[in-house]
Structure formats: structure tokens, C-alpha cells
Amino acid sequence: MRKLILILLLAVVSNGAAAEWVKIYSGKKGSNLYADPTTIRTNGSHVKVWLLIDHSSPNPDVGGATSLSAVGKVDCDCKEEQFQAIAETHYGMNMGLGSVVWSRTEPSPWKVGEPGSGYEAIIKYACGKH
């Protein structure tokens, strides 16, 4: 029950309509990556920020479902130049709108940004290297 409440709270709090999204990356396949600068929180070499990825066409997700956008909170380790998703919610419509397709609150593995990638854009933006 506690996990369900947390997922529902995450869905309400992370809804894209309430954020001030700033585009930080445009992908080659038509996906765009946005950050909400009002959510940046720094703790030592770590920076947390809410992100939104918006797809130009349906993106395959868990269990065969598809989504057009995802909103998530990431933790960037600026010293190690890596990040991990702390939580994410995938939506059936663009810009974090529509019904929730799936959601998770477990942190992802740490990821390093390859040059020119969206992952690199996340780290550069959060760590102030943009």
C-alpha cells in the first residue's frame, strides 16, 4: 500500500504541466530532453534535478506498453561525471501528460554520458557545464 501511495504521489508531483521545462538536448530520432531548473538541488558534488523526455513517436516500454514521454528525478555525481535515475514515470501522451503507463521508484544503475549523447547533456546541465 505504501508503494502505491508513493507512485500516485510521484505521478501527481511530477506531472509535466506544472514544471518550467527548458530544452537541454534534441535527439537524432526526434526525442527532446528537458530539465526543470526550479528543481535543482545541490549537496556536495551531487546535483538532483527533474527531467522530462518527450518522444516524437511511441516508445516501447515495460511489458509491451508504449509511452510518449517520461518524467523523472535524477542524481548527478559531478565529480565522477555520471548520473542515475532516482524515480521515473512514463506517460501515454507528450510532455508528461495523459495516463501513467508505468512508474518506478528504485534507483537505476549509474550511467556515464558518451560525448554528444543525452546522458552527457544531463550531466553537463546539472553540473553547470552547459
Structural domain containing residue 51: 2-126
Is pLDDT at 2 greater than 60 in this prediction?
no
Place of cell 546539472: 126
In this predicted model, what pLDDT tens digit does every residue of 79-96 receive, in sequence order? 999 999 999 999 999 999
- Answer for the pair 74, 84: CB distance below 8 angstroms, yes or no: yes
**pLDDT bracket for residue 10 (50, 70, 90):** very low
What DSSP string describes 59-89?
Answer: EE-GGG-EEEEEEEEEEEETTTTEEEEEEEE
For residue 115, the domain's CATH number is: 2.40.128.710
- Count how many domains the chain has: 1
